[in-house]
Amino acid sequence: MSRTLSRITLGLLLAPALLAASIAQAHQAGDIIVRAGAITVDPREDSGAVEAGGAALAGTGATLDSDTQLGLNFAYMLTDKLGVELLAATPFSHDVGVTGVINKLGSIKHLPPTLSLVYYPMDSGAAFQPYVGAGINYTWFFDEDLGSAAEGAGFDGFSLENSWGLAAQLGADYMLDDRWMVNAQVRYIDIDTTGKTSLNGAPVRVDVDVDPWVYMVGLGYKF
Ligand code: NI
């Protein structure tokens, strides 16, 4: 083949590949990305001893189980590589126990909105977009309910203090086309709270570092 012809042939061969690459165009300044998926909050609670009437009870501590809900991310790209992101979710519900005292003290709900600055190191043309982020979390506890067994045992009233803390995350988007993506992410959120109740009229309190790992997998769409 002549040199000209081979260049044309090469061009024709490369064209579909270049087209495919441009279809997977990811994350540019001004993009709005919405992600939705299953999100699990897995507390790795580190609890102080329960204090009743001012005295610490040796061997006691609060426990929390994990919960999975619908997670949402709303992200806005400030530049091709830097975005802001809000984490939202349907309310999480956890059972609360007290080691050595009562298996199920009650249950709580919470919402942990988190606002993060997120950095995407890859070029905007890459289909695979890993990212790191750091931000601020506010966790709002509500619907604190004592269990019937706890009420029967003489507990009365139950509350958890809301928490401000830092959050860090790792995640990745994989672009399926120029709008849809699959996403996986993990975060660590610093959530510290104090639980309060009373037992036979004596005030009971416990400091708990909830500090959960938060996992989410789902789909995203870029506007
Ligand atoms: Ni903490």
From ligand 1's centre to the CA of 191, what distance in Å?
5
From ligand 1's centre to the CA of 76, what distance in Å?
28
Number of domains in the chain: 1
CATH of the domain at 149: 2.40.160.20
46's tokens: 């580190």
From ligand 1's centre to the CA of 48, what distance in Å?
12
Q: Single out the residue of 118, 100, 73, 94 nearest to residue 221, CA to CA.
A: 73
From ligand 1's centre to the CA of 10, what distance in Å?
58
Return left, alpha or beta for 200; rule: phi > 0 is left, psi -120 to 50 is alpha, else beta.
Answer: left
Tens-digit pLDDT string for the chain (223 aa) = 455 556 655 555 555 555 555 555 678 999 999 999 999 999 998 999 999 888 899 999 999 999 999 999 999 999 999 999 999 999 999 999 999 889 999 999 999 999 999 999 998 888 999 999 999 999 999 999 999 999 999 999 999 999 999 999 999 999 999 999 999 999 999 999 999 999 999 999 999 999 999 999 999 999 9
For 186, the domain range is: 2-222
The confidence score (pLDDT) of residue 16 equals 52
How many whole angstroms separate alpha carbon 44 and alpha carbon 78? 33
Q: Are 139 and 110 in contact (CB under 8 A)?
A: yes
Q: Rounded to whole angstroms, what are the CA distances from 165 to 41, 100, 132, 136, 192? A: 15, 29, 18, 6, 8
